Amino acid sequence: MAKLTMPNQHPGVTDTKRRLLHRSFVAAMAIVTLSALLAVAERPTAHADPRPNIVVIEIDDMRADELQYLPKTMALLPGAHFTNSVVSASLCCPSRATFLTGQYAINHKVTDNSMGAHLNTSHTIAAQLHASGYTTSMIGKYLNGYGCAKQTPQGWDNWQALCSNIYGMYKYSIMDNGFQTYYGTNPEDYQTDVLASRASTTIENAATSGNPFFMWVTPTAPHGGTGKRVAPKYATTFSKWKLPPKASFNEANVTDKPAWLQQLKPITVSQRSSITKAEAVRLGMLQSVDDLVEETVNTLRDNNLLGNTNIIFTSDNGFMHGEHRIKSGKEVAYAESVDVPLIISGPGIQSESISAMAVNADLAPTIAGLAGVALSWAVDGRSLLPALGALDPWPQRAVLHSIIGDFTTDGGGIGKHPSGIGVTSEKFAYFEYSTGERELYDHTTDPLELSNQAGQPNYFAIENSMQEALALLKVCAGTSCQIDVTNIAPNAVASVQCDAYFTCQFDSSMSSDADGVLASWAWDFGDGYSSSEVSPIHTFETGGIQTVTFSVEDELGASASRSLIILSSANSAPIAVGAFDCVDLTCTFTSDASTDADGYLSSFRWTFGDGKSANLASASHAYTTAGTYNVALTVADNRRATDKWIGSITVTLPNAAPAATMTATCADLLCSFDGTLSTDSDGTIGSWSWDFGDGIISSGDLAEHLYDQPGVYAASLIVYDNLGAPSLIPALLEITVQYPPIPTS
């Protein structure tokens, strides 16, 4: 491959001459880059390689919670969003070496920003992909200390690494495959925009090749530096931005923290203002990163490559903004320094939020999996591909976090941070310092890491588990680093209080799960009854020894159980006694005479023999049809013992009144009355009541009456049926009687 060289820039070269030189160098760079791509394309292939292209955009010092300020990135990369993504070393050079190798710093030996030369360049994802036929491109920041070396590291076909003043947004240089290109102070020289343009050119050149490509784009935004930091078009975008409220910011009580942090003084109002301004600058710089993502996606789409390209978006580490009184910086074990964004998008990857733990050591094996290649060295991470769209839960993992070497935290030399090493899982973060101090945080209940649980009795089991994992990770290599956290079984706690009738209140509210949450509760009362409530109430029916078993299960299926022994006395069954009173078709039922000698009646059930029932001590029921019915009363006492009473009732339709009919014949003062023609439609005539109209009454179906005086009398008859109901209308008859005629001689 041809190499172009350029002497170091002379102080006397004017900006105008520099721009002219820059244009010629860019043209030369394009020729060199195209030559490199064509050289790779000339590798013998029977047909175009169908493997996916892979683009990794790795940001510098971007926190996980800053992703929300990149709307284009979130919209254009709708793939798998890992919400629990961390780095194993929160420092630029060790973190990038971990990305390239899939190894922790203890194994790749790049443990500090000054140790980039320790990287085995033959054991990088770029070298492996290059060997398998991928065209590999590096655009942006490489490892700290690389400088302006003209030699391209092993495995890279297209080398466009930031060379001098790498954190400057202006007045920096890029090493173009051995040719150093300088940039000035014009708006178009803004570093992130230049890298975006270079990435687009690389994509366009790769589109004509039959080879898949791997491109690592690494702008230094939003890393701190000197000079103008924000592109002119975003200079005022965040001018009025304010730090959101956060309990860990300027943490009030740090007595549970290690000694080095306790020495940090509370953040002043002036310092808070400085932190706010610094973050506003970072967010402004990230807007250009958002544009870089947009331009990359659009270029892939314009060249018909987007449908076969996987894009990974992440950061090399996080950054502190006043949390726990740490005004700025990284390389601490706290979440803001360790947590990074991670999005994996592309063909076949569904849009989802994944809470499974991911670490930057996973990216090399993940990329290898996407490319269908096997890494030729032992990797400490694991491919994340099985976690994408996974139906089964991703294993609870323990990943290593290390800080090698003492350093002084921000704050005027106060707070010398000791070296240390720790372990992070989905729920907990544990760290041991060289001073012997320890920190343990429960991210389920304390995501802001305000309460150090190291040494606390309630967390002994967790701390022991994390220490065991750390002991393994300290000396691990390869698959021995892939440690799954053993789920700690929950603690089952059960209690009971019973009254004199053996109605018992059970309680399991004190049960707990040290490393998760309780998901289900199960009670077996030993008498055929059960419950899934936290605090059920149960009454035992029979006497004797009752063994109650309680079990609780956590969200991962681990369980624990406890047994309770209850001695209950024998129970005497209640006595059911029913009574009723019926009028026509309506009856009233009572259970007042029912008793329970050693408890109390707790339930009543009447069945009325016509398919109807009532769960009342006393009930009223109206039948629709006359007849005889078998009625039952079942009573249960407080211990569910029962007794039944059975009775028979007859109900009738309402009684119809009889109709009175009378006739009479008279001779002189003597009259004969006849009531036999009276009728009763639903029974018989039971009695007759005669009123002869002269104050004399009589009974019987036939009656005779001798009037004392002649005259006209109003006689009447009322009849009563066999049920005693009277006729509604009396029979009336006007009677005329007279003296017998005087005999004639």
pLDDT score for 642:
94
How far is residue 136's CA from residue 228's CA, in Å, rounded to a whole number? 32
- Give yes or no for residue 565 having a pLDDT over 70: yes
pLDDT score for 413:
40
Homologous superfamily, domain 663-737: Immunoglobulins (2.60.40.10)
Do the domains spanning 15-42+52-387 and 579-651 agree at the CATH topology level?
A: no
pLDDT by residue (tens digit) across 646-683? 999 999 888 899 999 999 999 999 999 999 999 999 89
Homologous superfamily, domain 579-651: Immunoglobulins (2.60.40.10)
Tell me which residues are annotated as active site: 92
Provide mean pLDDT across the span 56-66. 98
pLDDT band at 526 (very low <50, low <70, confident <90, very high): very high
Q: Please tell me the total number of residues recorded for the chain in this structure.
A: 745
The alpha carbon dihedral of 605, 606, 609, 612 has a sign of negative
Q: In this structure, are residues 130 and 155 in contact, taking their beta carbons and an 8 Å threshold?
A: yes
Domain boundaries, the chain: 15-42+52-387, 495-564, 579-651, 663-737
User: Could you tell me the CA-to-CA distances from 680 to 508, 584, 655, 660, 722 in Å, in that order?
Assistant: 73, 17, 10, 9, 9
Q: In this structure, are residues 217 and 296 in contact, taking their beta carbons and an 8 Å threshold?
A: yes
Residue 695's DSSP bridge partners are none
pLDDT by residue (tens digit) across 128-161? 999 999 999 999 999 998 889 888 999 999 999 9
How far is residue 228's CA from residue 410's CA, in Å, rounded to a whole number? 22
For 165, phi then psi, to 5°, come to 45, 50
Provide mean pLDDT across the span 346-353. 94
How far is residue 36's CA from residue 583's CA, in Å, rounded to a whole number? 109
Q: In this structure, are residues 144 and 113 in contact, taking their beta carbons and an 8 Å threshold?
A: yes
- Report CA dihedral (323, 329, 335, 336) to the nearest 10 degrees: 70
How far is residue 401's CA from residue 408's CA, in Å, rounded to a whole number? 19
How far is residue 183's CA from residue 161's CA, in Å, rounded to a whole number? 13
Higher pLDDT, 15 or 514: 514
Q: What is the DSSP letter of 591?
A: -
Q: What is the mean pLDDT of the chain?
A: 90
Query: Beta strand pairing status for 53-59 and 309-315?
Result: parallel
pLDDT by residue (tens digit) across 269-317? 999 999 999 999 999 999 999 999 999 999 999 999 999 999 999 999 9
How far is residue 130's CA from residue 19's CA, in Å, rounded to a whole number? 34
Q: What percent of the chain has pLDDT over 90?
A: 79
State the residue for tokens 């290390």: 402
Q: What is the CATH number of domain 495-564?
A: 2.60.40.10
How far is residue 604's CA from residue 621's CA, in Å, rounded to a whole number? 15
**Nearest alpha-carbon partner for 363 in 383, 348, 347:** 383
Alpha helices (runs of H) in 403-525, residue ranges in sequence order: 460-473
Q: What is the 3-state secondary structure (H, E, C) of 142-179?
A: CCCCCCCCCCCCCCCCEEEEEEECCCCCCCCEEEECCE
For 140, phi then psi, to 5°, come to 125, -145
Q: What is the CATH number of domain 15-42+52-387?
A: 3.40.720.10
Q: In this structure, are residues 146 and 116 in contact, taking their beta carbons and an 8 Å threshold?
A: yes
- Give yes or no for residue 571 having a pLDDT over 90: no
- Give yes or no for residue 480 having a pLDDT over 80: yes
For residue 219, the tally of other CB atoms under 10 A from its CB is 28
Provide mean pLDDT across the span 526-545. 91
How far is residue 112's CA from residue 95's CA, in Å, rounded to a whole number? 9
pLDDT score for 209:
87
pLDDT band at 485 (very low <50, low <70, confident <90, very high): confident
pLDDT by residue (tens digit) across 410-443? 444 445 688 999 999 989 999 999 999 999 999 9
How far is residue 217's CA from residue 194's CA, in Å, rounded to a whole number? 11
User: Could you tell me the CA-to-CA distances from 108 to 7, 120, 124, 352, 408 in Å, in that order?
Assistant: 34, 7, 10, 32, 25
Q: What type of residue is 295?
A: E
Higher pLDDT, 15 or 172: 172
Residue 180's DSSP bridge partners are 175
Q: In this structure, are residues 91 and 320 in contact, taking their beta carbons and an 8 Å threshold?
A: no
pLDDT score for 549:
96
